[in-house]
Amino acid sequence: MRLRLFFLILILFTGCRSNSEYTIISGGFRFSADLKLSPAEKRADSVLNARRKELLTRKGDNWSLFRSFTSTKAELQKEDLYAIFKKMPKGGLVHVHATAAGDVDWLISFALSMPECFVYWSEENASYTPGQLAFFPDGNIPPGWLPIQELAHSDPDLKTKLFRLYTLGPEDENLPDLWIEFEKIFKRVGAFIYYKPVFISYFKNSLESLASEGIQFVELRTSLGKILNEDGTTTTDEAVIELYKSVVTVVRASHPFFDLRIIANAGRGGTLEAVGDQVQRINRFKLQYPEMIVGFDLVGEEAKGYSNGYFSPALLNSQAPLFLHGGESISASNHNIGDAVNLNAPRIGHGINLFFFPDLEKTLIANKTLLELCPISNQELQYVPDFRLHPALGYLQRGVQATLGSDDPAFFQSLGLTDDYFVAYLSWNLDLRSIKKLVLNSITYGGQSYPAQQVHLDLFNKRWEEFIQCVNMQ
């Protein structure tokens, strides 16, 4: 009898304990705990959750999506649940790089339509890499360059070959250094995009496509480099910003509330002096265009470039807030997140390796520092082998604030933000409250001033209500 009573107490005790642990862990997306869902939102949460359960049961635990977005994306994008996420209002896209923000298929077709466009189609050398695009208004064509239309005439597979050269895919998975290939893509398409007639069409197409995915504003990371004119001259510094502004005016004809902001950047492979010069240049822009220039950042592979701390003397002079890449790494010796915190950065790009530094995580939570998470980028660049193993899930559970970005979607065969939200929803067991918080954070942590921020919040709330109604009619 005594023994039976002992076991009864033991069962009750352990049962209670496991229940309370379950509550803490499973319901514990602390970063979104302050949001209260309406009854309609709770119904929508159940609708989406049931659909996710059906999809994941049908695909099984070994679904290739978790380990390879590029080989599964076509199948993924046919799902009804994906179509719902495509319609979801997404607030701001606050982590995306200009050269990789568009659509590679569009880029190839546009290049093929231009008789003056040349492609390098010879052996790799220090200056050029196969598939590199350029224009030569002065008529001096270096060896190895061909008019792209001439090459297309003799090679019917050119489009497919170029697509492989301008994107990462399964064929690149076993490369010894993926970043070398990744950076070659920037080299291949950079001079093409920054040719004035292409620049205008490319950004018009890219921004319209983002706006039609429910993105209200974009904070574009760019060095604001000069643009080549058709007569061979280059634009002045101010003309580059004016060009961006003129593109936004065109986009607003079909998306009246759309906004574009710039996070100017410098390369972390450069010298302290070069970064200092770029900070001063951007400070001048910030004075001239205070609403347009919203941040400053360092870009490039963290493992090979200098740390955020190394550039502190230059970065401390920035008049724009520091939205620094940090922790795009799985190395315990990478301290870029800590450096960014020391530099009072309100937002940090990626933050993958935060799991090595629990005290730093507490600081991020206390300071309400935002992580710009980029799940597809992290998988494609092989920092995270499986979306379900992404450490961000733990960060969100413990209360680190975050939003989602797409980083370099064109090069990852992705478009916009739907793909990132969808894989995060499927892989991290997020509830609708957390999805909404990720989106809201993109607005409340955005670089725009208060009145503009309120306009975007009001617009988002209206669109969100319509979205919830739409989900509940499914």
Strands lying side by side in the sheet with 259-267: 91-97, 215-222, 259-267, 293-299
Q: Among residues 212, 202, 216, which one has the least CA distance to residue 258?
A: 216
Q: How far is the CB of 405 from Zn ion (least distance, A)?
A: 7
Q: Which residue has the tokens 């949460």?
A: 45
Q: Which is nearer to Zn ion, 380 or 407 (CB)?
A: 407
Q: Which is nearer to Zn ion, 407 or 420 (CB)?
A: 407
Query: Taking contact as CB under 5 A, which single stretch among the options 107-115, 209-217, 274-282, 400-408 is the one that binds Zn ion?
Result: 400-408
Beta bridge partners of 120: 145
> Is 297 among the residues that bind Zn ion (CB under 5 A)?
no
Say which residues have a Cβ less than 8 Å from residue 329's Cβ, sequence separation at least 6: 302, 303, 336, 352, 353, 383
Query: Taking contact as CB under 5 A, which single stretch among the options 230-238, 250-258, 274-282, 406-414 is the one that binds Zn ion?
Result: 406-414
Q: Among residues 257, 262, 249, which one has the least CA distance to residue 461?
A: 257
Q: How far is the CB of 112 from Zn ion (least distance, A)?
A: 29
Q: Which is nearer to Zn ion, 95 or 188 (CB)?
A: 95
Transcribe 292-324 into DSSP letters.
TEEEEEEES-TTTS--TTTTHHHHTT-SS-BEE
Site track for Zn ion across 163-182, x = CB under 5 A: --------------------
Structural tokens at position 297: 């950042």
Q: Which is nearer to Zn ion, 219 or 407 (CB)?
A: 407
Site size toward Zn ion (CB under 5 A) is: 1
Q: How far is the CB of 217 from Zn ion (least distance, A)?
A: 18
Site track for Zn ion across 228-267, x = CB under 5 A: ----------------------------------------
Instruction: State how far the alpha carbon of 390 is from the alpha carbons of 25, 32, 188, in Å.
Output: 16, 18, 30
Residue number, nearest CB to Zn ion: 407
Per DSSP, helices labelled H in 167-236 are 178-193, 196-211
Q: Which is nearer to Zn ion, 339 or 407 (CB)?
A: 407
Q: How far is the CB of 392 from Zn ion (least distance, A)?
A: 15
Q: Which is nearer to Zn ion, 33 or 303 (CB)?
A: 303
**What is the rounded distance in angstroms from the CA atom of residue 309 to the CA atom of residue 317?**
14
Q: What is the DSSP letter of 75?
A: H
Buried b (16+ CB within 10 A) or exposed e, 154-186: eeeebeeebbebbbbbeeeeeeeebeebbbbbe
Q: Which is nearer to Zn ion, 235 or 378 (CB)?
A: 378
Structural tokens at position 313: 């003397």
Q: Are 219 and 294 in contact (CB under 8 A)?
A: yes
Q: How far is the CB of 326 from Zn ion (least distance, A)?
A: 11
Q: Among residues 309, 303, 395, which one has the least CA distance to residue 356?
A: 395
Query: Taking contact as CB under 5 A, which single stretch among the options 17-25, 34-42, 264-272, 401-409 is the one that binds Zn ion?
Result: 401-409
Query: Taking contact as CB under 5 A, which single stretch among the options 79-87, 140-148, 404-412, 429-437 is the one that binds Zn ion?
Result: 404-412
> Is 339 among the residues that bind Zn ion (CB under 5 A)?
no
- Segment (H or E) for 248: helix 237-254
Q: How far is the CB of 7 from Zn ion (least distance, A)?
A: 56
Query: Taking contact as CB under 5 A, which single stretch among the options 70-78, 244-252, 387-395, 399-407 is the one that binds Zn ion?
Result: 399-407
Q: Which is nearer to Zn ion, 213 or 407 (CB)?
A: 407
Query: Taking contact as CB under 5 A, which single stretch among the options 135-143, 258-266, 288-296, 407-415 is the one that binds Zn ion?
Result: 407-415
Q: How far is the CB of 411 from Zn ion (least distance, A)?
A: 11
Q: How far is the CB of 105 from Zn ion (least distance, A)?
A: 22
Query: Taking contact as CB under 5 A, which single stretch among the options 99-107, 240-248, 402-410, 415-423 is the one that binds Zn ion?
Result: 402-410
**Sign of torsion, CA 213 214 220 225?**
positive
Q: Which of 259, 339, 407, 420 binds Zn ion (CB under 5 A)?
A: 407
**What is the rounded distance in angstroms from the CA atom of residue 231 to the CA atom of residue 223?**
23
Residues that bind Zn ion (CB under 5 A): 407
